[in-house]
Structure 1
Amino acid sequence: MALEVFNRREVKYLIPFEVYEDIAERITENMRFDKFGTDGKYNIVSLYFDSEDEKIYTETRNKLLFRQKLRLRVYDEADLTSTSFLEVKQKFNNVVNKRRTAIPLSEAYDYIYNGADVIESASNPQIFKEADHFRNLYNLEPKVVVSYDRQAFHGVTESDLRVTFDYNLRCRSDDLNIEKGPHGNYFIDKDLVVMEVKMSSSIPLWLTRILSEYGLKKEGVSKFCTSIDVESLGMEHAIQNSKVGQS
């Protein structure tokens, strides 16, 4: 069964594509490819939710100490029979907690758009209840689809260490069917990659040295907020706003 609960720190960097290629090669001395995809590469398509008055966007943009998101996610090529993941992602004091439950995509849609009771189809009924409570509390509805390609690595000796590289970051609000795959407007420059270092403790010294060599600094890049900005304001304003966002 896929892991359903994650609790870790996440640090983001916005890097040129060629730097991603260099770092990805160098970290293989201490990390292995993610077991999914080919060489740790796969595609992610997520449907994000927000309220009519954009409570989630506002909380994220204003960097509230505690903030959370709701999304429905699929991996690689998907159809209505595919497994999707309904996820609640919470962030408190720079620690990320993610809880998710697997559910057939067709039934997830039935829940979202028709209010169907599909709890028996969820792999984790308790997490489904939490997601449903969060959705009802904020009156959340589908807002935007975000997609990207990812290459992921896991630590060999540091089992809690994970590094991901996301590129081809696109969004759309005119077609919210995530089974239709990765298409839409680029909300991050095509030549840039979002690198995330995820761990339960501190970044290991060998990786800190690599980050320092490239002069990398933490970037508060919010995929959700920046995608909303692109859909409503256009790329130029979205890039400006992303400098003050947090995911």
Structure 2
Amino acid sequence: MTSLHSFNRYEIKYLMPSDRVPELRRELVARMDADSHGGDGGYGVWSTYYDTRDLRFYWEKIEGLKFRRKLRLRHYGDRNDVTDDTTVHVEIKQRVNRVTQKRRAALPYHLARDLCDGRRMVDHEPGRTAFLEEVLELVSVLDLRPVAMTGYQREAYVGRDADVGLRVTLDHRVRGRDRDFHFAAEAENRLIVPARLSVVEFKADERVPYWLTDLAARMNLSIVRVSKYCQSVEAFGRVPRSIFHIPDSETVEV
């Protein structure tokens, strides 16, 4: 069984000291609702990213191409609980000028791996064929393979009333690894963003409301061009660190 979702949105990213998160959280809960999928501590987000041998998708991001895309498998929750039958998402995330577009299909993990690693079509619902064929063509023609994994703990808030469609996420303890790409592999993950920093994203269907941009200005949040995928590739020495790399302040394994 698959479920296909597609949407467009504008995204703005910030870095902020983790010790200021409670202040931001207080402002958000006054105007937004907590994501129903997360408990008090939020939820885990784990992604395996695919790229070419020469890291085509990485370089398209660094060079700021107006059209670029990437392929990933994503799991929400505790990665240690993942089995062959766990639902994961096969996602193509692409950027067209300033708009971020995401398309994804939910599949059991073993079918997602058959599609992306085994490079063969899998059983699916009618209406999902075009997307899955696009994924299969990407991995086959470009010879994609897993390159990096990222994971973090996410708090998410959704807009209400006039702010329907607004979403704010706070990602903490951003980790990664460059091998053992099965979600449940007994492998160590290293912090790829210093623990003292959290990644904050504002996501909106049309525009970010003024109260939120005013809040960002009041808290002195600075817009950054951070990519967790690129950060992971650079953290493990696959390429020289770019001008967008968040420098290490410590080396911690978790």
| Same fold? TM cut 0.5 | yes
Is the helix fraction higher in 1 or 2? 1
Of 79, 88, 95, 1:91 maps to 95
Query: Closer, same or farther in 2 for the Cα pair 1:239/1:159, shift >3 Å?
Result: same
Aligned to 1:118: 122
Partner of 1:227: 232
Q: TM-score, normalised by structure 1?
A: 0.89
Structure 1, unmatched stretches of 5+, are none
> Helix, strand or coil for the counterpart of 1:85?
strand
- TM-score under structure 2 normalisation? 0.87
Q: Do the aligned partners of residues 20 and 182 (structure 1) sit closer, same or farther apart at CA in structure 2, a change above 3 Å counting?
A: farther
1:177 counterpart residue number: 182
Aligned residues: 241
- Whole-Å Cα distance in 1 between the matches of residues 186 and 203 of structure 2? 26
Asked if the contact 1:164/1:195 (under 8 Å) is kept, the reply is yes
| Cα pair 1:169 1:188 within 8 Å, conserved | yes
Note if contact 1:104-1:121 (Cα within 8 Å) is conserved in structure 2. no
Distance in 2 separating the partners of 1:135 and 1:205: 41
SS at match of 1:110: helix
2:159 matched to which residue of 1?
Answer: 155
SS at match of 2:72: strand
- Unaligned 5+ segments in structure 2 are 247-254
Instruction: Return the match for 1:206 from 199, 211, 214.
Output: 211
Residue 196 of structure 2 is aligned with which of 186, 191, 199?
A: 191
Contact map agreement 2:7 2:101 (CA 8 A) in 1: yes
Candidates 245, 249, 252, aligned match of 1:242: 245
Q: Secondary structure at the match of 2:223?
A: coil
Q: Tell me whether 122-131 or 155-164 shows the greater mean CA deviation.
A: 122-131
Once superposed, which parts of structure 1, at least 4 consecutive aligned residues long, lie more than 4 Å away? 237-241
| Matched residue type, 1:201 | E
Give 1:93-108 correspondences, 5 Å limit: 93-108=97-112
TM-align CA RMSD:
2.3
SS at match of 1:189: coil
Identity rate of aligned residues, in percent? 30
Structure 1, residues 38-94: CA drift from partner, whole Å, max 9, x if none?
047110111000001111111111111111000001111222210010000000112
* Deviation for aligned residue 1:166: 0.7
